[in-house]
């Protein structure tokens, strides 16, 4: 059964309140604004988020305008889409779960994200954590859909028979816009 929740606000400026992205929040915010603007959306756009059995409609809010300079500096939107998807995910996951982003480590082209309970321990900070896989689609097509991307990600995940570290897979699409989050 699908449960629909009423609208909640996702304020892009609130990225600054997440410790890990405090310094880089404007970077993520700009990518997100540019992607949504590219798809004809403005602040207050409704974002449908599917997580497990629930559907939640968020209102995505931000201040400021997308300038020509910002658009020109994002000629490669595919790259911006990945960061924009992260921005949305970093805000959506804490709104829907008891987890928050705690780590982002990059190795070459690979980026790892971890989620931890909001009330995590002061020492064993990664005990009870989950991995986070994020992906972005500017505008989905039949061959490049949110569901298809989720399936690809799930197929590539290594088995986790003992369930010691679950994975959240989040795919954000900016055309409609919508997002789907799955927990393994």
Which residues would be at the binding site for other proteins (CB under 8 A)?
A: 19-24, 27, 102-108, 111-112, 114, 120-127, 129, 131, 158, 160, 164-165
- Report the chain's C-alpha Rg in angstroms: 16
Please tell me what DSSP assigns to residue 159.
Answer: P
40/161 with CB nearer other proteins: 161
> Cβ distance 42 to 173 under 8 Å?
no
Closer residue to other proteins, CB minimum distance, 21 or 47: 21
Q: Looking at beta carbons only, is 6 or 107 nearer to other proteins?
A: 107
Cβ 98 to other proteins shortest distance, Å: 17
55 upstream amide cis, omega within 30 of 0:
no
Task: Give min distance, CB of 129 to other proteins, in A.
Answer: 7
Least distance CB 96 / other proteins (angstroms): 22
User: Could you check whether the bond before residue 177 is cis, i.e. omega within 30 degrees of 0?
Assistant: yes
CB closer to other proteins, 25 vs 49: 25
Dist. CA 21–CA 163, nearest whole Å: 28
Burial class (CB in 10 A: 0-12, 13-18, 19+), 91: buried
Minimum distance of other proteins from residue 123's CB (angstroms): 5
H-helix segments, 39-162 = 68-72, 77-96, 146-156
In angstroms, give the least distance from the CB of 53 to other proteins: 27
Quick one: 41 or 74, whose CB is closer to other proteins? 74
């Amino acid at each position: 059964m699908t449960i629909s929740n009423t609208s909640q606000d996702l304020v892009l400026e609130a990225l600054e309140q997440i410790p890990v992205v405090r310094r880089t929040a404007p970077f993520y915010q700009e990518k997100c604004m540019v992607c949504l603007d590219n798809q004809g959306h403005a602040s207050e756009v409704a974002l449908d988020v599917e997580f497990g059995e629930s559907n939640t409609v968020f209102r995505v809010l931000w201040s400021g305008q997308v300038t020509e300079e910002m658009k020109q500096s994002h000629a490669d939107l595919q790259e911006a889409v990945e960061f924009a998807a992260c921005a949305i995910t970093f805000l959506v996951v804490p709104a829907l779960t008891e987890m928050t982003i705690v780590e982002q480590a990059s190795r070459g082209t690979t980026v790892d994200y971890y989620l931890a309970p909001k009330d995590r321990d002061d020492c064993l900070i990664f005990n009870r954590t989950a991995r986070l896989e994020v992906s972005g689609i500017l505008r989905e097509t039949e061959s490049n859909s949110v569901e298809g991307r989720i399936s690809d990600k799930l197929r590539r995940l290594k088995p986790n028979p003992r369930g010691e570290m679950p994975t959240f897979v989040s795919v954000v699409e900016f055309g409609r816009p919508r997002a789907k989050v799955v927990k393994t």
